[in-house]
Amino acid sequence: MQRFSVEVPLQEGGVTVQPMKEWLRRNPGHLPAGMSPASSTSHQIRAALKKRGWQVRETSDEVRLVMPRSAASGNDASVEIPAGPRPILSRSADKLWCWEGNVVCAVATFLTENGWIIESTADTARSEAGADIQARRHDQILIVEVKGYPSEVYERGPKAGQPKRTNPATQARHWVGEALMTAVLRQADGKAHQVALAFPEFSVYHKLLRRLEDCLKKLEVQLLFVNEAGKVRVVIDRGIGRT
């Protein structure tokens, strides 16, 4: 499933990338006539924006609508621009620290502290497709694939609250494989991107990723761990923690 985002020029130069419907809710002046973020589909809004001169850039996991400079300069008052680097998500107090959304929040905070601008994050609670974190620093683009630690019970759907048949440690090993495959595909989609993996501090992740460390280095994939306090530890660093 592709995610939809908008790329909007910043008044001081550069651009910001935001989830499309969320941005249009905050900036209704740019919403095409007859369209609503609540009732219109992303594909309908995409077609309407394209007719208004927005450029469409599409990859395997993202559809990005690029605002024309003329639209930005003519409607500065209605364009909400983030004041500066900030994580898009906040930590959820009603979830375990090792929940994927909380790991995303910790990594996003770490990145902003190291000079990265968070361009987009996937909505973990809604199982949104696409890069878990996309960040930019100067001319560098960073894609982070994040995994939490599996819960012992189903968290959603008709089986919510019921015990899972798969052992969490076994499922965690599968998640490492999924994350590694996704990281390789991210590099294939954009060879100029930096790619990183992030996991919560659990022994099953430590043991498996220690065995994969040389492989990750050859693939130029960076590796981060997040502890219960939300602190990030960089294991493989190709510049992610340096401003």
pLDDT tens sequence across 213-241: 999 999 999 999 999 999 999 999 998 97
Tokens for 102, please give them: 């909380």
Against a cut of 0.75, is the pTM above it? no
Looking at this protein, which amino acid is placed at residue 177? G
Specify whether 116 is located in the same domain as 215.
yes
Specify whether 104 is located in the same domain as 74.
no
Task: Choose the final residue of a domain: 47, 78, 109.
Answer: 78
Specify whether 158 is located in the same domain as 216.
yes
Going by C-alpha positions, the residue among 13, 3, 23 that lies closest to residue 64 is 3
Task: Choose the final residue of a domain: 26, 44, 78.
Answer: 78
Q: Is the pLDDT of residue 76 over 60?
A: no
Tokens for 203, please give them: 């022994």
pLDDT at position 73 is 56
pLDDT at position 22 is 82
In terms of pLDDT, which residue wins out, 190 or 175? Answer: 175
pLDDT tier at 186, thresholds 50, 70, 90:
confident
pLDDT tier at 174, thresholds 50, 70, 90:
very high
What sign does the CA torsion over 138, 222, 132, 42 have? positive
Q: Is the pLDDT of residue 2 over 90?
A: no
pLDDT at position 225 is 98
User: Beta partners for 225?
Assistant: 199, 233
Domain of 71, in residue numbers: 3-78
Residues 225, 243: Cα–Cα separation, whole Å? 19
Which of 9-23, 67-81, 195-209, 226-240 comes out lowest in average pLDDT?
Answer: 67-81
pLDDT, mean of residues 31-59: 91
Domains in the chain, number: 2
Specify whether 121 is located in the same domain as 197.
yes
User: Is the residue at 92 inside a domain?
Assistant: no
User: Is the residue at 200 inside a domain?
Assistant: yes
Specify whether 122 is located in the same domain as 54.
no
pLDDT at position 242 is 66
- Give the HSE-up count for residue 203: Cα atoms under 13 Å, Cβ half-sphere: 0
Residues 87, 37: Cα–Cα separation, whole Å? 23
pLDDT tier at 163, thresholds 50, 70, 90:
confident
Specify whether 70 is located in the same domain as 110.
no
Q: How far is CA 65 from CA 17, 46, 50, 87, 194, in A?
A: 9, 7, 8, 21, 22
Specify whether 52 is located in the same domain as 136.
no
Enumerate residues 6+ apart whose C-beta is below 8 A from 85.
112, 115, 116, 117, 118
For helices 203-218 and 168-189, angle between their N-to-C axes, nearest 10 degrees: 20
Going by C-alpha positions, the residue among 161, 169, 160, 143 that lies closest to residue 224 is 143
